[in-house]
Amino acid sequence: MIFDIISKTIRVAKALTSPKPAKEDVSKISLHHPSRYRGQHTIDYETCIGCDSCNKICPTHAITMKRLPLKKQNIVPEVNLATCIFCGLCEDVCPTKPDKSIVLSGGRYDMLSGGWHSDQDDFWVNVDIPQSYIDDRLEQEEATRIKKELAKKKKEAQLKAKKAEEEK
Ligand code: SF4
Ligand code: SF4
């Protein structure tokens, strides 16, 4: 008991006599976050196939699908962390392999604290896709379309030739 009091007194005295300036911004770290904490989503727009499953399963409608000017991958998810409950269902249901295209990867420890929510607008996980990526994908889609059209024409010509041969 006496020892406890002395040790506490020494600790307090030390703390009072040698104040140290804060070395890091504690709003960016969690002092005691659970090891399986599900934090902010990471979305890989390159592997996402735009299946909409994450959006459909989300129980709080926290996901909005952003429209892309592409034929196949024409939507990609964005998440509103203000309404997300971090259940992880969107990650569970994502079908892409070997890696999921939407992953609750942590990184927003401020969301555990109940405080530090100074910037409400910063609660969205947006997907910023460079125009060069869109242009490349559009080019690929056009090349695939032309290839398919040529293959179709070739097949039609072969059938026509075969039919003419049979009619001789
Ligand atoms: S973690 Fe849950 S609530 Fe949050 S976006 Fe995914 S499915 Fe919706
Ligand atoms: S479930 Fe996965 S692949 Fe499907 S839209 Fe969501 S992130 Fe993309």
Which tens digit of pLDDT belongs to each residue from 117-165?
555 556 788 899 999 999 999 999 999 999 999 999 999 999 999 998 8
Nearest ligand 1 atom to alpha carbon 88:
1
Centroid of ligand 2 to alpha carbon of 44 (angstroms): 9
The structural domains of the chain, with segments of one domain joined by +, span 24-128, 130-161
Going by pLDDT thresholds of 50, 70 and 90, the confidence category of residue 19 is low
Cα separation, 90 vs 75, whole angstroms: 15
Among residues of the chain, what percentage have pLDDT more than 90? Answer: 51
pTM, two decimal places:
0.70
Q: Is 102 helix (H, G, I), strand (E, B) or coil?
A: strand
CATH value of 24-128 in 3.40.640.10, 3.40.50.720, 3.30.70.3270, 3.90.105.10: 3.30.70.3270
Identify the CA nearest to 63 among candidates 132, 48, 113, 71.
Answer: 48
